[in-house]
Amino acid sequence: MKGSIDPLLATPLGMIIGYFSVAILELIIFLYLFELVTKYNCWKEIKKGNMAVAMATGGKMFGICNVIRFCIEAKESVYDTMIWSSLGFLLLLVAYFLFEFVTPVFRIDDEIAKDNRAVGFIAMIISVSLSFVIGASIV
C-alpha cells in the first residue's frame, strides 16, 4: 500500500490531503484515548455546558494538533509524521498523569467534572505549553 500512496504524496495537493487525513484520524484516536483515561465523559459534560471540561479538552486538541504541526514542519514523510506525533501524544498522556500525581490535595478529574474552571484552565495551559516543548524536541 505504501508504494501506491507515495506517488500521490509527491504532489502538493496530495501532501495536503495526506497530512490533513492523518491529523484528523490521529485527533479522533488520541481524543478517544484521552476519553478512556478520564473519569468523566468529555462530550456529555461539554453538552451540559461544563466549561472546565471544554477548556481541558480544547487544550488536549490544541496540544495534539500542535505536535502534529511540528512533525509536518520537519518535512519528513507522512509516515514519519504518524510515528513522531504518536510519540508526542504518549508524552502528552504522561504529562496528564504527572499533573494528577503532583496535585495530591485534590483529584484533577473530579475537579474538572465539577466544572472547576481554574483547574480546567491549568489543564489546558499544561497541554498547550507542553505541546510546544514536545513538538520542538521530537523532530
Burial class for 70, CB neighbours closer than 10 Å (0-12, 13-18, 19+): buried
CB within 8 Å of 68: residues ≥ 6 apart? 19, 22, 23, 26, 27, 81, 85, 88
Q: What is the mean pLDDT of residues 103-126?
A: 92
Between 96 and 104, residue with greater pLDDT: 96
pLDDT-derived band at 138 (thresholds 50, 70, 90) equals confident
* Domain ranges for the chain: 2-138
- Over the stretch 63-89, which tens digit does the pLDDT of each residue have? 999 999 999 898 778 888 899 999 999
What does the pLDDT look like over 48-61, one tens digit per residue? 999 999 999 999 99
- The whole-angstrom separation of Cα 74 and Cα 112 is 35
Asked if 69 contacts 63 with a C-beta cutoff of 8 angstroms, the reply is no
